[in-house]
């Protein structure tokens, strides 16, 4: 006899982690947008001291971290909700705002977890195509809102294309969004975004009662392995996020690492500046060689390889670059260490020459 299972899960793909080279391959893993720098010494030293207490549950309220975030952003602590990475908080947001059959809207292609989380919650994903430049088409998204729409994600900068939405466009969008619909500005890559006219999530949170902001410690702070992120949301929404959160999902180690990272931001900013500089150099080198690509405002670049994606990805792997390929669409390559970045340009150019076409 077959064990009873939820039949709708058969149509939901599992989230796929970025590909990892084999243990003995001379290759760079650039498929998961990880920070290539090791953890801060202050973080590793403090975590070593915490290991003797991992038999205890963490303080689920995380008062020290929540207090620091509230002070930093000038918000009430009650507006902050934590989770095991911003992806878990995104799931909380969907569970907190939708009933079965309600719609969750986002651009596509965007963060892979959005449709998975939406289906798991019993909601309906509404995927609005990006424009020709790989950016959010906010006019089309506004037109796609229905009476069933409960939640809208705006990924800024967008993963995987690295494009941004500007403030004026988001203001025009918000003017068309019903007050009952929560708009979530997902800023997982905000630290790498130096676009002068980009929408800033906290500006919109302060100006609109139906906006939430999503942040993570995985990217710029380099804590991907500890899983910690947070939302700043209207108080009633934040309260429901805490209800839908996995109990004790944010470990004491993650909380302590996040606090120390906030205390050591000047050191982290040096690393962020280095990654932005490396990104700029890489894009310039590719363009000089004739590769056409959009500006990226995240810690990765996007190659619009279309039908050639599988072939180009295979060539990149042969050269030692393991990127994130979206078959039939394009390839996302994380900004890595200096040796990795030096290899990316030559590997991409060679791969595209082996499979020539417009990029």
Q: pLDDT 10s digit of each residue in the chain, 359 long?
A: 678 777 777 777 777 777 678 665 679 999 999 999 999 999 999 999 899 999 999 999 999 999 999 999 999 999 999 999 999 999 999 999 999 999 999 999 999 999 999 999 999 999 999 999 999 999 999 999 999 999 999 999 999 999 999 999 999 999 999 999 999 999 999 999 999 999 999 999 999 999 999 999 999 999 999 999 999 999 999 999 999 999 999 999 999 999 999 999 999 999 999 999 999 999 999 999 999 999 999 999 999 999 999 999 999 999 999 999 999 999 999 999 999 999 999 999 999 988 776 44
Give 85's DSSP letter.
S
List CB contacts of 127: < 8 A, sequence separation 6 or more: 105, 106, 107, 108, 115
CATH code 3.90.1150.10 for 7-39+266-354: yes
d(C-alpha 276, C-alpha 236), whole Å: 37
Could you tell me whether strands 330-334 and 300-303 are parallel, antiparallel, or unpaired per DSSP bridges?
A: antiparallel
Q: Where are the domains of the chain?
A: 7-39+266-354, 51-263
Q: Which fold has domain 51-263?
A: 3.40.640
pTM higher than 0.85: yes
- The whole-angstrom separation of Cα 180 and Cα 8 is 28
CA distance 190 to 193: 5
Q: What dihedral do alpha carbons 282, 284, 286, 290 form, nearest 10°?
A: 180
Give the integer Cα–Cα distance in Å for 193 and 19: 25
How far, in Å, CA of 112 to CA of 158, rounded? 11
């Amino acid at each position: 006899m077959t064990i009873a299972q939820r039949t709708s899960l058969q149509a939901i793909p599992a989230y796929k982690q970025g590909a990892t080279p084999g243990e003995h391959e001379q290759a760079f893993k650039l498929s998961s947008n990880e920070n290539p720098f090791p953890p801060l010494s202050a973080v590793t030293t403090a975590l070593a001291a915490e290991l003797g207490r991992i038999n205890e549950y963490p303080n689920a309220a995380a008062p020290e971290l929540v207090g620091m975030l509230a002070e930093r952003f000038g918000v009430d602590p009650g507006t902050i909700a934590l989770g095991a990475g911003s992806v878990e908080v995104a799931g909380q947001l969907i569970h907190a705002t939708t009933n079965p059959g309600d719609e969750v809207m986002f651009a596509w292609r965007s963060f892979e977890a959005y449709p998975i989380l939406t289906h798991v919650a019993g909601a309906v994903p509404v995927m609005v195509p990006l424009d020709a430049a790989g950016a959010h088409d906010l006019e089309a998204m506004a037109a796609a809102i229905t009476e069933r729409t409960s939640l809208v994600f705006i990924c800024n900068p967008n993963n995987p294309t690295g494009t941004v939405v500007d403030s004026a466009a988001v203001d025009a969008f918000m003017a068309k969004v019903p007050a009952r619909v929560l708009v979530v500005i997902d800023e997982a890559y905000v630290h790498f975004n130096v676009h002068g006219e980009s929408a800033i999530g906290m500006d919109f949170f302060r100006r609109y009662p139906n906006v939430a902001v999503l942040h993570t410690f995985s990217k710029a702070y380099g804590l991907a392995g500890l899983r910690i992120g947070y939302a700043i949301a209207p108080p009633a929404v934040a309260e429901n996020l805490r209800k839908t959160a996995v109990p004790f999902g944010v470990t004491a180690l993650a909380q302590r690492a996040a606090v120390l990272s906030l205390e050591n931001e000047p050191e982290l900013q040096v690393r962020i500046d280095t990654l932005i500089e490396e990104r700029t150099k890489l894009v310039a080198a590719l363009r000089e060689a004739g590769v056409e690509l959009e500006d990226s405002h995240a810690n990765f670049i996007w190659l619009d390889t279309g039908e050639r994606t599988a072939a180009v990805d295979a060539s990149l792997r042969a050269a030692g670059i393991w990127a994130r390929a979206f078959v039939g669409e394009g390839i996302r390559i994380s900004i890595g260490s200096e040796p990795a970045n030096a290899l990316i340009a030559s590997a991409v150019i060679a791969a595209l020459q082996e499979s020539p076409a417009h990029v």
